[in-house]
Structure 1
Amino acid sequence: MKDTDFVNKVEKSGIVTVDLMDFAPKQEVMFFDIKNHLYMEMIIKEVEFRKSIESVDWDSFRNKLVAIGCSIDAIIPTWVYMLIADKLHGIAHFADYSSENELKLQIWKRNIINADFSHLIDQKVVVRASSTHDPSLYMLVTDKLKPIVKTLMYGEAGMPKVIYKRNKS
């Protein structure tokens, strides 16, 4: 071996990296604020509310993730959420009563749950570290990967922290 030949130990280790960003929602997240449709930004008056939401450009929510809520402290009857859901049906990619961040996390988790990890069976896997990801994502991916992988690690392929290693049977 020449002095100039380098061995990529990470590549040679056979470690496969899983990046949680690959499962992040791709759709834009929008917030539908009921406050803008309240009478005097205070209460629901049914006739005024129905007129107000008829003027909404619902097509602007097409293929988006829509978080629905009210940014002020107001009593919102349940039928209001049903009416908004009806207007978004077939337009939004997904809509739910939540904040934008909660909705994004919910879809992110759904993407992990629905992911096909069969290519990782009996592999040494490292889940890439990121301090910006919600810890619940790491808990969920651990639950999904532990039954199928040989070794589960956290961090980077060059210096991973071993979380789980299957006993040799």
Structure 2
Amino acid sequence: MDSQTFVNKAAASGIIAFDLSDYKPTTDIVELDIKDHLFMGMIVKEKEFKESIAATDFSVYHEKAVGIVCSTEAIIPPWAYMLLMEKLSPYAVYTDLNDARTVLLDLWKRRLTYADLKHYKDQKVVVRAKAEHDPTLYLLATGLLKPLVKSLMYGEIGLPKVIFKK
């Protein structure tokens, strides 16, 4: 029988994988619904709102990212958000006026933006394709990697789609 040598062309290509999952935040993200602190779930009455906030144990948000939402059509005055932030600030690592999905995306983009990507300089890089990742992350990754890399691709090392070449 003839012995054949198999060459791993993907490994020999020199292409490095860039996986957006490596930059996904690990912080727990929770939502705080203002509705729970409103009179009849609809109206901001200052006295009742302040009493409700004062009676809340905000330590449950310790080391968490908090998305503040209102699941009703109530009009919330800015001071109410300020009061919530004053109570959350000793505990929450991040707070925003968005749902949990948007908070996750914002934190993920922040981690990507501040990541040390210098080891990709002058390399052939493929950004791994994953359907569950928001397209915004691919947009940001392209903007961050293009000035550094020799070539930028999308997909998998064995069958990438070329996006950019120097």
TM-score of the superposed pair, with normalisation by structure 2: 0.96
Show the counterpart of 2:46. Answer: 46
Could you list the runs of 4 or more consecutive aligned residues of structure 1 that deviate by over 2 angstroms after TM superposition? 2-6
Please tell me whether residue 154 in structure 1 is matched to residue 147 in structure 2: no
Tell me, in whole angstroms, the C-alpha distance in 2 between the residues paired with 1:88 and 1:54: 12
How far apart are 1:57 and its partner, in Å?
1.7
SS in 1 for 2:127: strand
Query: What is the one-letter code of the residue matched to 1:70?
Result: C
Gaps of 5+ in 1: none
Question: Can you give the 5+ residue segments of structure 2 that lack an aligned partner in the other structure?
Answer: none
Q: Which residue of 2 aligns with 1:21?
A: 21
Q: Secondary structure at the match of 1:132?
A: coil
Separation in structure 2 between the aligned mates of residue 85 and residue 96 of structure 1, nearest angstrom: 9
- Aligned ranges 1:1-169 → 2 under 5 Å: 3=3, 5-166=5-166
1:78-103 per-residue CA deviation (whole Å, 9 max, x = no partner) reads: 10111111111131110000111111
Residues 40-91 of structure 1: CA distance to partner in whole angstroms, max 9, x if unpaired? 1110111111111112221111111100010011010010111111111131
Q: How many residues align?
A: 165
Instruction: Give the residue type in structure 2 aligned to 1:154.
Output: Y
CA distance in 1, matches of 2:108, 2:123: 24
Deviation for aligned residue 1:165: 0.3
Taking the aligned partners of 1:84 and 1:7, their CA distance within structure 2 comes to: 60
How far 1:4 sits from its partner (Å)? 5.1
Given the two structures, how large is their TM-score scaled by the length of structure 1?
0.94
State the identity %.
49
Please give the per-residue CA displacement for 1:105-136, whole angstroms capped at 9, x wherever unaligned: 11111111001100000000000001111111
